[in-house]
Amino acid sequence: MPQLVLATDLDGTFLGGDETQRRALYDELIARADELTLIFVTGRDLGFIADLIAQPGMPQPDLIIGDVGTTVVDGTDFSPVTAVQDWIDARWDGANQRVLDLLADEDELELQPVMGERRVSYFYDPARPPTAAIDKARAAGYDVVTSADLYLDVLPKGIAKGPTLTRVVESLELPDERVLVAGDTLNDLSLFQTRFRGVAVGNSEPALLGAIEGLDLVHRSAHPGCAGISDAIDHFGFFAPHLDLDPDLPADDGQDHQ
């Protein structure tokens, strides 16, 4: 059994922090690869992730949950994790065109150029909240996730990063008590609503911090991006010895930070 199952968002989280902070975490994870199950949990598509993994010094994920929880593949050969992917496919039932038709007249939405097979993704202007579009999509039986006051994803009912990760952990019989989730925006909220320990990194958007208020298993790190993940690994005691943090920030005092 792994000592740590790290299920982490990418942008702002696993890719966040400065170069020193990223290198410290990546080197530790590579050195401890035999003690680790690494899962990327992201809104990004597989093309972006393939390019990312090809970069020198990037840890190799064991699994990838992409497209805001709607794509689940092996991290080495990108083959589908069928036990989970089939469950998502059944809930979506090829609905891309139906969603596009449903929201075609919602002029506050702008279609994103990258489209997943089991989601429909838009940009929106926070000055024009897409309330009507959200209500329409939910009434039609879909879930809607927004993040960063910019992105809106229409997803299969009951599917998001958190539910998909939970299904993966159950399917692979990974130990709940060794799972650490990490994120920084509202589309990571469902990760923190699971039964797993979590860290909201220091650069998390205020809307996420407000939404996780009162969740006892979530550590609010003072450190950004990768340094926040390192801080949480230390805070929850997954690995020893401790990882190095940014020397310009105070050491963790064992308390959750606002």
Helix axes 82-92, 161-171, angle to 10 degrees: 140
CATH number, domain 4-88+159-236, options 3.40.50.1000, 3.30.300.30, 3.40.50.10860, 3.30.1360.120? 3.40.50.1000
Long-range pairs, 105-114, Cβ under 8 A, ≥24: 106/130, 106/132, 106/133, 106/136, 108/132, 108/133, 109/133, 109/152, 112/151, 114/45, 114/47
Give pLDDT, residue 25: 98
Rounded to the nearest angstrom, the gap between the alpha carbon of residue 144 and the centroid of all alpha carbons in its chain is 16
Which residues neighbour 257 within 8 Å (Cβ) at sequence distance 6 or greater?
A: 202, 220, 221, 222
Q: How many CA atoms lie within 13 A of 22 on its CB side?
A: 14
d(CA 254, CA 199): 13
Give pLDDT, residue 241: 54
With beta carbons less than 8 A apart as the criterion, state whether 27 and 5 touch.
no
| CATH number 1.20.1250.20 is the correct assignment for the domain at 92-155 | no
Which residues neighbour 22 within 8 Å (Cβ) at sequence distance 6 or greater?
A: 15, 16, 225, 226
Q: Which residues are paired to 7 by β-bridges?
A: 39, 181
Domain with CATH 3.40.50.1000 in the chain: 4-88+159-236
Stretches where the chain sits below pLDDT 70 are 240-258
Domain with CATH 3.90.1070.10 in the chain: 92-155
Residue type, 223: H
> pTM for the full model?
0.90
